[in-house]
Amino acid sequence: MCGITGWVAYDDDLTRHRDVVERMTATMALRGPDDAGVWIEPHAALGHRRLAVIDLAGGRQPMVEQTPAGAVAVVYSGEVYNFTELRAELTARGHRFRTSSDTEVVLRAYLQWGDRLAERLNGMFAFAVWDGRTQTLALVRDRLGVKPLYVFHTPGGVLFGSEPKAILANPLAPAVVDADGLRELAANTMAPGWALWRGMAEVPPGAVVTVDRAGARTRTYWRLEPREHPDDLGRTVERVRELLTDIVARQLVADVPRCVLLSGGLDSSAVTGLAARHLARDGERLRTFSVDFVAREETFRADEVRDTPDTPYIRDVVARVGSAHENVTLDPAPLADPAMRRAVIAARDMPIGFGEMDTSLLALFRAVRATSTVALSGESADEVFGGYRWMHDPASVGAATFPWLAFRSAMSGDRAAVLHPRLRSTLDLGGYLADQYAGAVAAVEHLPGADPFERRMREVTHLHLTRFVRMLLDRKDRVSMAVGLEVRVPFCDHRLADYVYNVPWALKTFDGREKSLLRHAAAHVLPPSARDRVKASYPSTQDPAYLLSLQQQAKEVLAEHDHPVFAVVDRDWLTAATALDPLTVPSDIRRGVDRVLDLYHWLDMYRPTLALD
């Protein structure tokens, strides 16, 4: 896991701009604390920051192969989990390896198959290959978008980076945010290709972007496709179990300490049980980590997305698998510290407004990183197996919008309420949400003759696997990499996503509950409590002192009458929010205050030009 960046300029000699390339690379020092490298030739420059995970001595980058027709160089972030098989195949084809790293496998796979190597990779990755033989750049991103990759087109070529900050370090990329950028930031539909900064875009998941002197072209090498499901219930459960067992085993491969993030829910408990079982064969004890808040178990109150606290279930899983467990217990007060908020904003390059759900994640990852470099997570099981509450709520499923926005939670409510009235009119979030939803549903392919309910549930699943999951994956990547921690996501293996996507909804819920297939496929490694637990969201503090701190910070913002945040935010809304009783503030209002504070700090940190007219 690393940070990559680069610059292709057909109209310039980049050997004269090493200082700029080094600045671009240095912005991602937190992503790659172990090493740094820059490679430059006249029309291409590549930068890399390394977090060493496999072949600690031999995996340095940029990695270059000199050929008679020119150099071929790669910068690569992520992990390829089938690199051993690919290495054997390439060796049989005559390639000779100098290292044991998966980076060299990617490089030699490109030499063998060109950008068609993408179809052969199983993993989470974002990488760039400069082919000096043809003066061509290839940018490749994994199928579900686990690893980020951004691009900014210039008159003479292109800039790219794992994070926007790398691109913004180049003077060709001004830090401008316009109404289009703010519109998606406020709506949070995860529109394909969107980046907050004007002129910047994400490389789409499952795509290869090729850049040459003629311009840029995008090729989609993977997408969710409808297929008839061939298996009965018994074989389906068996196949899911086979896939998960293989996936977890592959994702435990590392030359550094690794662990599992355990919440006590079905998803992370399944990964924990499978990982512990696999490691026990070699006499190794699994490490696990969880996060909670001081006195949360004793003071817990059920809400719209959480029926129970995590701690009792975590204890049961740890007792079952015998892991070496550490519970990271957080005091809510430091989570409201503006320094923590600014650290998250710096990691994400934008003001998302998740508040203590992000700052607590950062605190957890810092604690994990003290002893582990790689962590496996249960992220994305809900998208794959159909675990969210709103996926089983008829009103949310039947609504003509994204189901997670129709369900009563912190994500619902009036998303435009915090905005300045003039900006609210300009952005027209209602119209934008309707357009994004219509486009997202139109992209779903169906099997001929599918009944209306099955068609709708395929749409709902597709929306989650192409939209909702990307919000969570981006959060996970950016916050974990801010502390140099590689978080792997077994449920994002494309083989599993492909297979389960085409399982009829009746089979996915065959026992009358959410995630039936996962529950039964992993039952052999789970205690009954975790196996039967209802979906609960990531923990959020219920301590009113946290909201009191937010309200006090908001009052301090209100005292800065000329701050540019009030070109975006409705001062009257914020004033009213600070006067509410912290014990009864609705969750969407609380998230609104978090969004305002994020905007305030982001404007101070990045000083963007706001082009909102």
Q: What whole-number distance in Å separates Cα of residue 64 and Cα of residue 49?
A: 16
- Under DSSP, the state recorded for 567 is G
Q: Kind of pairing, strands 287-293 and 324-330?
A: parallel
- Sorted by sequence, the CB contacts under 8 Å of residue 87 that are 6+ apart come out as 97, 105
Beta bridge partners of 317: none
Burial category of 137 from C-beta neighbours within 10 Å (exposed 0-12, middle 13-18, buried 19 and up): buried
CA proximity to 516, closest of 505, 527, 526, 524: 505
Question: 2, 243, 423, 492: which is the annotated catalytic residue?
Answer: 2
First to last CA, the chain: 40
Q: What angle do CA 564, 567, 568 make, to 5 degrees?
A: 105
- Sorted by sequence, the CB contacts under 8 Å of residue 334 that are 6+ apart come out as 340, 363
- Sorted by sequence, the CB contacts under 8 Å of residue 90 that are 6+ apart come out as 97, 105, 108, 109, 112
Q: What whole-number distance in Å separates Cα of residue 108 and Cα of residue 112?
A: 6
What is the distance, to the nearest Å, from the Cα of residue 593 to the centroid of all Cα atoms in its chain? 24
Amino acid at 479: V
Structure tokens at 461: 């699943």
Q: Kind of pairing, strands 215-220 and 258-261?
A: unpaired
Q: What angle do CA 574, 594, 483 make, to 5 degrees?
A: 155
- Sorted by sequence, the CB contacts under 8 Å of residue 425 that are 6+ apart come out as none
Sign of the Cα torsion 96, 99, 100, 105 reads negative
DSSP string, 373-435: SEEE--TTHHHHHT--GGGG-HHHHHSSS-HHHHSSSTT-S-TTTTB-HHHHHHH-HHHHHHH
CB 142 within 8 A of CB 205: yes
Q: Has 2 been annotated as catalytic?
A: yes
Q: What angle do CA 195, 199, 205 make, to 5 degrees?
A: 40
* Residues taking part in catalysis: 2
